[in-house]
Amino acid sequence: QTPETPNVLGIALLGRQMARWDLDAVDAATRAKAAAIAAVMPDEAFYVRDPAWRSLTTHCLRVDDPLAWKVRAESAGFEIGSGYGPLKASCIRIATFPSVPLEQIERVLAALSG
């Protein structure tokens, strides 16, 4: 199997799962999680400055000491990502995928702000 060969089983399973979802509800929940992050993080913390261009599912945030932020998250039972490449030393990433409940985003934000 070459990398160009699609994973037909994976695509079929994804299609079945998506058929079960209420996509409007998934969209609303994802937007609520993104709004929760935007409500507590200063606008200048977002790597992508224009909200219209920001991802709703992965939030790249510039912070003073990313390692300290990661340690605070881990002490509360969460794992947050680092930036990639040159952003590794200045950014953290918080995922707000559909599988992550709003309550977990609120708890990680409380851990990071406290």
- Confirm whether pTM is higher than 0.85: no
- Judge whether 62 and 45 are in contact, CB under 8 Å: yes
**Residue 69 CB contacts under 8 Å (≥ 6 apart), including other chains:** 63, 80, 92, 112
Convert the pLDDT of each residue in 3-29 to its tens digit.
Answer: 777 788 999 999 999 899 899 999 999
**Is residue 111 helix, strand or coil?**
helix
Q: DSSP for 70-105?
A: HHHHHHTT---EEPSGGGTTTEEEEE--TTS-HHHH
- Supply the pLDDT for residue 2: 67
**Residue 42 CB contacts under 8 Å (≥ 6 apart), including other chains:** none
